[in-house]
Amino acid sequence: MAQAVEEWYKQMPIITRSYLTAAIVTTIGCSLDIISPYDLYLNPMLVVKHYQVWRVITNFLYFRKMDLDFLFHMFFLARYCKLLEENSYRGRTADFFYMLLFGASVLTGIVLLGGMIPYFSESFAKIIFLSNSLTFMMVYVWSKQNPFIHMSFLGLFTFTAAYLPWVLLGFSVLVGASAWVDLLGMIAGHAYYFLEDVYPRMTGRRPLRTPRLIKSLFAEENVVAARPANVRFAAPPVEDLPPH
């Protein structure tokens, strides 16, 4: 069993493995009181006035307390981050990293701007960790790139992957969780999908071209298997999802 888990971990692509490891280590560290969540949450005043710039990153690593919800988010992170990196971004590690960087920047910007808007500032002030939103963004992007895959939710009903974010959002509302977290992920995911996939097909221009500096950080991989244009790699045809 331990060897199987080790092999599964080693076979993960680099970005997925690094993010999953950082998230688990950070969350366990907080649960054991080795790390304080108060040193991790997003606080613009502390970032600007006290130069605690690490908060811009660490708020994406902490997934609150270790409970069933934490396990579900680790499942979504490990599965859909891995599917994106291995399939849609196969051989394009720098592009995948840039996608996460773009999503994190959009989410941070939305929360900062939302905190300045009357009537909404109180709701946005409560969003101090964006890890769940970034995970949901990856789920959204995967669903848009693989819209025709048939899925099953707890064996209760089937649907295509295009509706996966809405199914998970509905479940979050039913169990009393905040819909804002998932909605932010959907907004960031749709912004990326539009600028990366839709807008280039409409205009022939690609505004989210990965900067050379980021490309220089990752060695280019040689991909042997070719695929036709506009066709995405996909997961197995049917999935049975755990609750969100």
**What SS3 state is found at 220?**
coil
197 located within any domain: yes
Q: Round to whole Å and give the CA distance between 242 and 76.
A: 9
In Å, how far from its chain's centre is CA 62?
13
User: Each residue of 226-239: pLDDT tens digit?
Assistant: 454 454 544 444 55
CATH number at residue 149: 1.20.1540.10
Q: Indicate the pLDDT class of residue 173, thresholds 50, 70 and 90.
A: confident
User: Each residue of 38-51: pLDDT tens digit?
Assistant: 999 998 889 989 99
171 located within any domain: yes
CB atoms within 10 A of CB 78: 20
**Closest C-alpha to 58, from 40, 75, 45:** 40
137 located within any domain: yes
Q: Are 219 and 142 in contact (CB under 8 A)?
A: no
Residue 159 β-bridge partners: 151
The number of domains in the chain is 1
242 located within any domain: no
106 located within any domain: yes
DSSP state of 63: -
Q: Are strands 157-160 and 150-153 parallel, antiparallel or unpaired?
A: antiparallel
Q: Indicate the pLDDT class of residue 240, thresholds 50, 70 and 90.
A: low
Q: Are strands 150-153 and 238-241 parallel, antiparallel or unpaired?
A: parallel
* Domain boundaries, position 13: 1-217
Structural tokens at position 171: 């479940």
Sign of CA dihedral 8, 80, 127, 72: negative
Phi–psi pair at 157, nearest 5 degrees: -155, 160
Q: Is the pLDDT of residue 144 over 50?
A: yes
Report the pLDDT averaged over residues 145-150: 91
Q: Are 242 and 75 in contact (CB under 8 A)?
A: yes
Q: pTM of the entire structure? A: 0.84
Q: Round to whole Å and give the CA distance between 224 and 222.
A: 6
150 located within any domain: yes
179 located within any domain: yes
